[in-house]
Amino acid sequence: MSSSAVTELLKQAQTGNKGALDQLLPLVYDELRKLASYQLRRERVNHTLQPTALVHEAYLRLVNQREVDWRDRAQFFGLAAQMMRRILVNHALAHKTEKRGGLEQLISLDEAISFASQREVDLVLLDEALTRLAVLDPAQCRIVELRFFGGLTVEEVAEISGISTATVKREWRAAKAWLYEQIHGVSE
């Protein structure tokens, strides 16, 4: 996928060219589907949301944004990761409020955000902690979103964010420790 082609189509869509959105979807679909599959691998086995539905919901929400100044492909996929996070959290909240209390929405904190060992965390608790982190340190929150929800590498996060890989690693470690404490109530 050409980064410049995606950026150009985003710019065209922003100026009102609806045909640009029709051209954009085929260019970004496979990568969005990989991102959705990555997200859903951490969900419960019997999750009712499928990767295709998650992609379509996120894409529709993304392209209907009115206040976004589309800069480039990296920003698009960063926002896609955030949008998928919101969709999954909303889905988890809806599931919890079903009759008889619903089931807990647990996800594995695998290599993307491994705190001390393989543990599970409630997606709603993680979202609440990330919301608090966004107030305290928006940069750390963005790094967590891109790494955990976006499945991006340290190098990719550094490129998207315009910071060094050393800074990403340092902020990632600090964010993981802070989130662990928030979710589990103890220092790692």
Could you tell me the pLDDT band of residue 118, with boundaries at 50, 70 and 90? very low
Rounded distance between C-alpha atoms, residue 70 and residue 72, angstroms: 6
* pLDDT value of position 169: 94
Could you tell me the pLDDT band of residue 121, with boundaries at 50, 70 and 90? low
> For 101, which DSSP code?
G
**Residue 124, amino acid:** V
Could you tell me the pLDDT band of residue 186, with boundaries at 50, 70 and 90? low
Q: What is the mean predicted confidence (pLDDT) over 114-140? A: 74
* pLDDT value of position 97: 64
Give Cβ neighbours of residue 89 (< 8 Å, ≥ 6 apart).
123, 124, 127
pLDDT digits (tens, 9 = 90+) for 19-66: 888 888 888 888 888 888 877 776 666 667 788 888 888 888 887 776
Q: Name the fold adopted by 104-188.
A: Arc Repressor Mutant, subunit A (1.10.10)
* pLDDT value of position 96: 67
Task: Tell me the sheet residues that pair with 121.
Answer: 107
Give buried/exposed letters for 102-120 (b at 16+ CB in 10 A, else e): eeebbbbbeebbebeeeee
* Structure-block tokens of residue 131: 């919301």
Residue 110: pLDDT over 60: no
Domain ranges of the chain: 104-188
Query: Checking phi first, is residue 159 left (phi over 0); if not, alpha (psi -120 to 50) or beta?
Result: alpha
Could you tell me the pLDDT band of residue 165, with boundaries at 50, 70 and 90? very high
Residue 164: pLDDT over 90: yes
- Residue 116 three-state SS: coil
More confidently predicted of 140 and 105: 140
Residue 5: pLDDT over 60: yes
